[in-house]
Structures are given as C-alpha cells and as structure tokens.
C-alpha cells in the first residue's frame, strides 16, 4: 500500500521511499523507513493530504505520496 491509498485516522509505518527526485528532501523532513505516520485529512478535492510525522504536521501532494510504500500499524 502507498501513502496515497491511506484514509484519515490511519496510522502507518514507512517501508520505503522509492526512487524519487524528492527522496533526499523527504528524508531530511523525517520521512525515513520505520517512522510512524498518522494520516490527518485531505483537502476537499483530495490534494494535498495532511500527515502527522514525529512532532509536526506536513502537507504532501498525492503524486509524491504515491511513491512512499507504507504498512498499517495495528
């Protein structure tokens, strides 16, 4: 499953970031494999989505979120 496929309220763990141009930038913002992410909500038309990672909120385009592999945390 990718971050794009998640629903608000879900808690997921990042598995991999893929080979995107933004990989290094995402990693500096704290999106590294093994990190827990809470899905907050999305804009009315679906783009961007808001996530809570570590101690801050981050808005991300769905195209970028589609490159991030995640698994759901129970």
Q: Is the pLDDT of residue 46 over 90?
A: no
Strand, coil or helix: what is 26? helix
Average pLDDT over residues 35-42: 93
Model confidence pLDDT, tens digit, residues 7-31:
999 999 999 998 878 888 888 888 9
Average pLDDT over residues 50-64: 92
Task: State pTM to two decimals.
Answer: 0.84
Residue range(s) defining the domain that contains residue 51: 3-72
Confidence of residue 33 (pLDDT cuts 50, 70, 90): very high
Q: What angle do CA 56, 7, 10 make, to 5 degrees?
A: 60
Counted domains in the chain: 1
The domain spanning residue 34 has which CATH number?
2.30.30.90
- The whole-chain average pLDDT of the chain stands at 90
């Amino acid at each position: 499953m990718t971050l794009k496929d998640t629903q608000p309220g879900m808690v997921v763990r990042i598995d991999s970031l893929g080979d995107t141009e933004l990989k290094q930038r995402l990693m500096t913002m704290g999106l590294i494999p093994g990190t827990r992410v809470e899905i907050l909500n999305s804009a009315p038309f679906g783009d961007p989505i808001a996530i809570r990672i570590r101690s801050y909120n981050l808005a991300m385009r769905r195209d970028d979120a589609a490159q991030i592999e995640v698994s759901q945390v129970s």
